[in-house]
Structure 1
Amino acid sequence: MKTKLSFLAFFLSLTLSFAQTRISGKVSFKNKGVSEVNVILKDTYDGATTDAEGNFSFETSEKGDHVLSFTHPKYIEVNKNIEIGDQNVVVNAELKEQINEIDAVVVSAGAIEASDKKRATALLTPIDIYTTAGADGQISSALNYLPGVQKVGESEGLFIRGGTGTESKIFMDGSLINNYFSNSIPGIAGRDQFNTSLFKGNIFSSGGYSALYGQALSGALMLESVDLPDQSSYDFGISPIFLNAGFQKLDDKKTYSYGASAGYSLLSLMQKVFDFNTDFIDAPQGFNGDANFRIKTKSGGLFKYYGMYNTNKMGVKTESLESEYDFALVRLKGKNTYHNLSFRQKFGKYLLNVGTSYSYNRSNLNFSTETNTLESEKTELLNAGNYINLKAVLERKINKISAVRGGFELNNASEQLNFQDIQKNYRDLISAAFVETDLGFSNQFSAKIGLRGEYSSFLGKANIAPRFALAYRLAKDWTTSLAYGLFYQNPESKYINSPSNLDFQQSQHYIFQIQRASEGRSLRLEAFYKKYNELVKVQNIGEINGQYQSVQTAVNNNGYGFAKGLELFWRDKKTFKNIDYWISYSYLDSKRDFMNYPMSLKPNFASEHTLSVVAKRFFPELKFGTNLSYSYSKGRPYYDIATKTVNGEEVNFIRNEGRLKDYSALNFSFNYLPNLGKKDSKAFTVLVLSVSNILGSKNIYGYNFSRNGNQSSAVVPPVNTFVFVGAFISFGVDRTQDAINNNL
């Protein structure tokens, strides 16, 4: 019996072995074998996985018609009908790439984004900005630690790749902010007027930016405000120089919220503690208030409103450069209001973004002189402007990584200027239309193509600006991008004091980038070339005594110039535990013939070499963070440009020139998150100690010259070293763990 059973088992196994059919083949993509592809005979347990060359092989006892499936996360599933008989079956498959929004390469030449972690290295979030030593919690100051941005301490604005501070524009939820910086006195930079916590993300473009934005020769900063808050909260901030408080109220169903805040600042106490370079006869002081609401519609749309009102004033006294006066005095009274309303809604495959903003700005400068303690009559320079912006963008997704968008924009400006015998009423309506498309050809290759057209009622002229960019993935973490764009900008209205036949100023951008981005690390290498045409030339039409100032007016568009350079950016949050650091370096070669320059010169706001290092270390167990930053820039050139008469014609010439000493500043800040109140209470507290320019470097921003050029004085920071101490408290929400997770 045992022999019979053994023989029967042997016979059955032999029969089954003869019944097995081998299925084999190769799976490829663009003629290259693909590994890790799952090859499954549907509705069975039979199958295999491809090897490194894309080959597979397995056996099955199934017979008849079946479906062979080929699946891989990065490729579209392929199904093939096969017939299984007594003969072996060979099946080859050619895969098609699975288009995936996360895996797709994204155009990034000229742009650094901090709003969508799927698409770019998260950079300059509010936590990043608040914890960057030396940034003073200001977005514009934090951008100085990125490649391409110049540190120009005597004037507000973003000086990008050889461009002036007015050649960059800042937008909130798509709408232009006409007065982002506070009013100030010549030689002292205005501060950000907007709270950093208001924004949840940003896209900073140092060139080649989208066709949705215009009127900027150099770059654009696009800020996106927060949506509904997570919880209701009350916030307080206190320091020796300011006091503020605010609240946010969220309804129980989380469909709407509203909030407001107010603050007051005064620098007089710090004047008594520190040795200021600037003699403030009226200590800088200001009041600010803002309000907001957010409403979520039943269909998923979102209304957002933000409004603010600021006032500020200060007075400065300096030794006069003119022999007939002892001192020069300048006093400022400024006020500004800004309102922004936006709406976002999806309609099927379409996304509509509509926004409008209004701003009013008034700057009243009074100039006077003092001799033997007697003050002269004041000379008033008054500027006032109303600005309205309206913008609508309609976008339609074509597939997961392709889209087309278009829309229009209106920007209306109405300004008044009064100075001595000069009175100006400037009005301009810039209307624009634009269209742009994102084309995802594959996960390795994409393009962005845009076109923008504008018409200026003041100039009576129109322009057409094409822009495009390409991106290609070289390897898993390596991508390369190429961008080109044509950009136009109206001449600055402050130089338009008389009728002139002016045109748009123009710049062309060429950008090439190589980037490596992996988890926790990012490396960017970028080369650029900018060509300027139709830049404004000006001439002097008036002057202010004391600390010699001049009033200028635009005469033509005969200016030109170029800027070229290389930039490096490296950020690492992974190598060292609880340490986040980045290094940026910029090389810039630039020359311009514009404004009152007598010839093509290196601009006095452009430095050849700029280096920044930022490092942050957080101790989670102590809830304590230390932050360091260092910035260096090669000394900028300076010029004393005067006018003389040659053959009956006024000609500009350089009377004095030189190079400033190199700029450097080392900054520290410390952040501590103490436990206040009960352990389970919803409260969040941050104590901050910040020291700017801790080594006390005596930096110089430039020189002022007398009318005859024989006397000069250095333009320096208001104070060499500054210490800030403050406490920020929130009730109703505990953000401690979020702060720890973000390496505060």
Structure 2
Amino acid sequence: MPTFILSKVLTFILLVVAFFTNAQITISGKVNFKNKGVKDVSVTLKNTYDGATTDENGNYTFQTSEKGNQILVFSNPKFVEIEKTILLENENLTVNADLKEQISEIDAVVISAGSIEASDKKRATALLTPRDIYTTAGADGQISSALTFLPGVQKVGENEGLFVRGGTGAETKIFMDGSLINNYFTNSVPGIAGRDRFNTSLFKGNIFSSGGYSAVYGQALSGALILESVDLPDTSSFDFGISPIFLSGSFQKLSEDKTYSFGTSLSYFNLALMQKLMNYNTDFSKPAQGFGGDANFRIRTKSGGMFKYYGSFDTNSLAVKSESLESEYDENKVDLKSSNTYHNLSFRQKFGKYLLNAGSSYSYNATDLKFSTLRNNLETPEFNFDNIGNYFNFKTVLERKINKISAVRGGFEFNNAKENNNFGKNYKDLISSAFVETDLGFSNNFSTKIGFRGEHSSYLNKTNFAPRLALAYRLSKEWTSSLAYGIFYQNPESKYLNDNTPLNFQRAEHYIFQLIRSSEGRSLRFEAFYKDYKKLIKTFGETNYQTAANNDGKGYAKGLEVFWRDKKSLKNIDYWISYSYLDSKRDFMNYPISLAPSFAAEHTLSAIAKKFVVKWKTGFNLSYTYASGRPYYDIVSENQQNIIRHEGKLKDYKGLNFSVNYLPNLGKKDSEAFTVLVLSISNILGSKNVYGYNFSNDGLRSSAVVPPVNTFVFIGAFISFGIDKTNDAINNNL
């Protein structure tokens, strides 16, 4: 090729390169969030491949040959995407951007001061799911028993109820699908606590609040247990349970199109055999026995709503003899017969931007207690106590989402109670309530909950107004803090309302601070609280028949709680440790002065460990509880004044429990059957715990209140036909 031609070609190429090089425009700038540079933000020209990613300081730069009107896009999953229109000519451009946080239900901080939630929505921090409850040694499959292994709940064995942060068992209320359960526990005799009436498998999740709970719930000075029942089952199934103390069977039928289901169950229990095999402390002249059943149906609406019904009944009876503390008698005897029915109807449905939750419940409870004395084997009736209670609850809540993490809800509730007994009592009360509450999410790191609740009692002829406030702020990726404040009111217990004395609502004011550190498989929780009690009930009368005299009682409770759960550090081992410190005093009931309540231990420590051996298809579970000795008092009325005749401290409570769960292979390898064999030993070391003391009328003799049996052994088998849950149980460590 001639030299002049080659020279012209090279010159042309250089001119073309220079032209295109000169045509490149540089776009640069800085991306900020709250005046601070943000890294890893993608900055691109829309519909092109030109762009860059911001550096550690939020700066970016890139070149483009595009011209004219263009759109510059700033994107990052944590922030709202920004689009800016720019004009590209021949000059370099500087384009800065200020980001807004992307609001996300998943990333948003959750207000949790005073509460622990276990549900499908909170799997990452779930505590005490139904599986947790069944595999907690010493809980006997009962929700209330399992909760005693959490911080804030006292280990009280002589009375049923959840004794939370210095409160009585009656100060914590239990709800099912939003409606109040008026008779959650079975009827009991003095010194022997009632058990849970409801099967744990009925519920898919729960929120346990030891203080500062939502304005949607009321009439509880200390806490609330909010239970959510299952929706439609996974498949149709038949279930059987058998052990030396009970026999049960149930079935669930799921429609082929999975839009509705129905089912029923029956159960019978009798402790006669166990009393013959084991060394009982309590003399059951008639072994505890009972019969019960339930029925349910669930319907999913075409628009995704849910209509649910649950109904149950049970009958229970027992008779207990004990050595009399009075010289003129040899023994005392108490006979119990009771029957109970419960019905719960709920409806949940979305209407556009609104969510409606409505529900009602009805309870009927009949108790027949007969007290008698024995001398030379001759029984003399002393008195009968027959009580019939009818309770109806209705609640409706309407909620509207404001954005992804903000909402406002409001509604009303009616709680009607009627009680009659053979002593002429005719108690009636209608508590009418209205409430409003808003969740305000200002960012993924900061949210508030503000609520107000008002109530009117027809019996007291009084009205109250209770504000509630909670805040949550994420300090870092793993650390979150929460604050909660609220005023809570509760009617006096109806069993003390035996005359027409003018009374008012009891009142508690809660202050709670919480600090949580959460990471994959681990959770650490600190909580400090203070409760101020006012207008508590003061009573007069005999120990077993107290009558409300006035609302002059008061008290306080303060403490510190620590909870640690770890599923990650040790292979196939899930464990948690909880510690509670409680300082509480009350001047209430028949207390002559301010005293530490007899149901409050200063120190409580619990440790739970669970290990599943996949090769053996076996789960091993241990639990241990220590509680410092509770105070006890012998208070009597003399000359129209209450005096302390005896007082002291009980021995420290100790209990080590063990259980093992084995999944055998029964039938064909791929058969749709699931079996669990269970061996459980409560208080395996046989610690002789004492719950209190009874005293004679003259105060010269006493007897200890002890558990019916020191060590209890349970063996049972549970078989389910219709779905093989073996792999699910193994994957979730049973």
TM-score by length of 1: 0.97
- Is 2:138 aligned against 1:163? no
**Counterparts of residues 39-54 of structure 1 (less than 5 Å):** 39-54=43-58
- Is 2:618 aligned against 1:624? yes
Letter of the 1:676 partner, please give it: L
Q: CA offsets per residue over residues 670-716 of structure 1, 9 Å max, x none?
A: 01111111111100000111111111111001111111111111111
What's the counterpart of residue 652 of structure 2?
A: 662
What's the counterpart of residue 677 of structure 1?
A: 667
SS in 1 for 2:424: strand
What's the counterpart of residue 546 of structure 1?
A: none
- Is 2:458 aligned against 1:454? no
Letter of the 2:552 partner, please give it: N
Letter of the 1:38 partner, please give it: S
**Counterparts of residues 145-544 of structure 1 (less than 5 Å):** 145-418=149-422, 422-540=423-541, 542=542
**Cα offset for 1:120?**
6.0
**Cα offset for 1:300?**
2.1
What's the counterpart of residue 78 of structure 1?
A: 82
SS in 1 for 2:381: coil
Q: Distance in 1 between matches of 2:267 and 2:246?
A: 7
Q: 528-537 or 618-627, which moves further after superposition?
A: 618-627
Letter of the 2:242 partner, please give it: I
Letter of the 1:539 partner, please give it: F
Q: Distance in 2 between matches of 1:709 and 1:535?
A: 28
Q: Distance in 2 between matches of 1:7 and 1:114?
A: 76
**Cα offset for 1:6?**
5.7
SS in 2 for 1:149: coil
What's the counterpart of residue 634 of structure 2?
A: 640
Contact 1:655-1:709 within 8 A present in 2 as well: yes
**Cα offset for 1:90?**
1.1
- Is 2:696 aligned against 1:692? no
What's the counterpart of residue 723 of structure 2?
A: 733
Letter of the 2:528 partner, please give it: A
Contact 1:700-1:717 within 8 A present in 2 as well: yes
Q: Distance in 1 between matches of 2:417 and 2:265?
A: 28
SS in 1 for 2:273: helix
Among 54, 71, 88, which residue is 1:67 paired with? 71
Structure 2 residue runs of 5 or longer lacking an equivalent are: none
Cα distance change on mapping 1:613 and 1:6 into 2, 3 Å: farther
What's the counterpart of residue 606 of structure 1?
A: 600
Q: 294-303 or 329-338, which moves further after superposition?
A: 294-303
Q: CA offsets per residue over residues 180-227 of structure 1, 9 Å max, x none?
A: 000011100100000000000000000000001110000000000000
**Cα offset for 1:65?**
1.8
Letter of the 2:551 partner, please give it: N
Q: CA offsets per residue over residues 118-152 of structure 1, 9 Å max, x none?
A: 48611111100000000000000000011100010
**Cα offset for 1:384?**
1.1
Q: Distance in 1 between matches of 2:346 and 2:733?
A: 32
Q: Distance in 2 between matches of 1:29 and 1:659?
A: 59
Contact 2:337-2:367 within 8 A present in 1 as well: yes
**Counterparts of residues 706-721 of structure 1 (less than 5 Å):** 706-721=696-711
Contact 1:106-1:119 within 8 A present in 2 as well: no
Q: Distance in 2 between matches of 1:22 and 1:630?
A: 68
Structure 1 residue runs of 5 or longer lacking an equivalent are: 543-548
Q: Distance in 2 between matches of 1:312 and 1:120?
A: 40
Contact 2:370-2:381 within 8 A present in 1 as well: no
Letter of the 2:32 partner, please give it: S
Letter of the 2:669 partner, please give it: K
What's the counterpart of residue 30 of structure 2?
A: 26
Among 79, 95, 98, which residue is 1:91 paired with? 95
Which segments of structure 1 move beyond 4 Å, counting only runs of 4 or more?
1-11
Contact 1:114-1:120 within 8 A present in 2 as well: no
Contact 1:445-1:473 within 8 A present in 2 as well: yes
**Cα offset for 1:47?**
0.5
Among 694, 698, 701, which residue is 1:704 paired with? 694
What's the counterpart of residue 554 of structure 1?
A: 548
Letter of the 2:582 partner, please give it: L
Letter of the 2:733 partner, please give it: N
**Cα offset for 1:574?**
1.4
Q: Distance in 1 between matches of 2:372 and 2:122?
A: 56
**Cα offset for 1:9?**
4.5
Q: Distance in 2 between matches of 1:118 and 1:654?
A: 48
Q: CA offsets per residue over residues 86-134 of structure 1, 9 Å max, x none?
A: 2221111100111111111111100100114448611111100000000
Q: CA offsets per residue over residues 427-453 of structure 1, 9 Å max, x none?
A: 000010111111111111111011110
Q: Distance in 1 between matches of 2:442 and 2:123?
A: 17
SS in 2 for 1:127: helix
Letter of the 1:464 partner, please give it: F
**Cα offset for 1:18?**
2.4
Q: Distance in 2 between matches of 1:525 and 1:394?
A: 33
Q: Distance in 2 between matches of 1:236 and 1:591?
A: 47
Contact 1:112-1:120 within 8 A present in 2 as well: no
Q: Distance in 2 between matches of 1:696 and 1:137?
A: 21
**Cα offset for 1:417?**
1.9
Q: Distance in 2 between matches of 1:358 and 1:687?
A: 36
C-alpha RMSD of matched pairs (Å): 1.2
TM-score by length of 2: 0.98
Letter of the 2:704 partner, please give it: A
Letter of the 2:615 partner, please give it: E
Q: CA offsets per residue over residues 34-73 of structure 1, 9 Å max, x none?
A: 1110001111101011111111111111122211100010
Q: Distance in 1 between matches of 2:115 and 2:17?
A: 67
Cα distance change on mapping 1:622 and 1:11 into 2, 3 Å: farther
Contact 1:384-1:417 within 8 A present in 2 as well: yes
Q: Distance in 2 between matches of 1:313 and 1:8?
A: 107
**Cα offset for 1:378?**
4.3
What's the counterpart of residue 545 of structure 1?
A: none
Query: Number of matched residues?
Result: 730
Q: 294-303 or 468-477, which moves further after superposition?
A: 294-303
Q: 687-696 or 79-88, which moves further after superposition?
A: 79-88
Q: 719-728 or 617-626, which moves further after superposition?
A: 617-626
**Cα offset for 1:606?**
0.3
Q: Distance in 1 between matches of 2:637 and 2:339?
A: 35
SS in 2 for 1:376: strand
SS in 2 for 1:441: strand
SS in 2 for 1:272: helix
Q: Distance in 2 between matches of 1:261 and 1:269?
A: 24
